[in-house]
Amino acid sequence: MRFAENLENVCIDTVEAGDMTRDLAILIRADHPWLTTNQFLDKLDTNLQKGDGSSNSAAIGETAMRLSILDDFQGVALQMADWSPVRNRGVEIAVERHAFVDEDAAVRALADSEFVAAMRERTPFPKTLVDRLPKMKLLITTGMRNASFDMAALKDRGVTVCGTGGPGGGNEDTAELAWGLILGATRRIAEDHQFMRQGGWQTRVGHRVAGKTLGLLGLGRLGSAVARVGLAFGMKAIAWSQNLTAEKAAAQGVERVEKDELFRRSDILSVHLVLSPRSRGIAGAREIGLMKPSAILVNTSRGPICDTEAIIAALKEGRLAYAGFDVYDKEPLPIDHPLRTAPNVILTPHIGYVTEENYRSSYPQIVENVVAFLDGKPVRVI
């Protein structure tokens, strides 16, 4: 506690006229979330008001536009693009390294931002938040859809929404991670890695995927990419979604089956549906109950598509052999979430699209989106 207090005082005392603006000082706190927000800002405002008042207030009173880059968990956003075209237009850049603890925290951070760049659905923008950000003019998402944005509320407020795209759009990355989780589950790679770290050697028997049935809940670009790898491994691929036809499935070398049959027959079931009202909870307790006790379920799509509680119960009761998750109902996953201690799971922190290649495609497009909006010619409008 004393360390945090000392750090807080150091951060505040370094903020003087001409040295650091209030906005930049707030970013210091973003890297040290244990500092008490209200006390920090109160002390900071007091410190900024010291001195002759004239030059200080002029610097603080400047009304430069601001771009807030959200959820840069790895701290790499500013390295992944040339941001000078944005800065040269008089736009300050604020980087938020951590998830907001609640909507009030989001409002405090974004209240003075005309432009906001979100990373997928890491920070949702429901109507309640949109209505509290009157200065926001442009909201950008990576990808060309974002189920966590209230598009009607944004339209009503006149906020332009743009996305990023391009070859793959991160689909290759997520398909690769899906196979990482599948192979990690079939060969228990995480467990054997940890056991080797502890000085152990062989203790378990894995399973091959060749000759097994790969089930695909969704056969769009991602599901098709995962299917191609399964076929290359010598697997039988089956799939179902509401709109999937037998002809479309056959074109991918996949058999189209009904939903219940998909759950019954799959040795490995990989989820690739887009989250929507009709897909939410589609892999529920009843569907999980249809699966083989030896089956593996992997979800790299969106957490709410699957009933997590039903999956945990099936794992604990031996009705499901293993599960792999990259996505969750609540993100970041709470420290005390039962998945963290559930048996026979392999977990990754929603990193399906988190690759340098994808970031080096997405962040430059965010730069382009901001500049195009400033020019009055927005691009990639959703």
CB within 8 A of 296, min separation 6: which ones? 182, 185, 186, 267, 268, 269, 320, 321, 322, 323, 324
Q: Which residues pair with 213 in a beta bridge?
A: 236
Active-site residue, 331 included: yes
Active-site residue, 302 included: yes
Q: Which residues pair with 381 in a beta bridge?
A: 162
The span from the CA of 256 to the CA of 218, in Å, is 10
Helices then strands, counting H and E runs in the chain, come out as 16, 12
Active-site residue, 350 included: yes
CA-based nearest residue to 138, from 186, 193, 209, 66:
66
- Report the relative pairing of strands 255-256 and 322-325 from DSSP bridges: unpaired
Catalytic residue among 29, 120, 272, 302: 302
CB within 8 A of 367, min separation 6: which ones? 81, 82, 83, 85, 86
Catalytic residue among 120, 122, 265, 350: 350
Catalytic residue among 96, 114, 121, 331: 331
Catalytic residues: 302, 331, 350
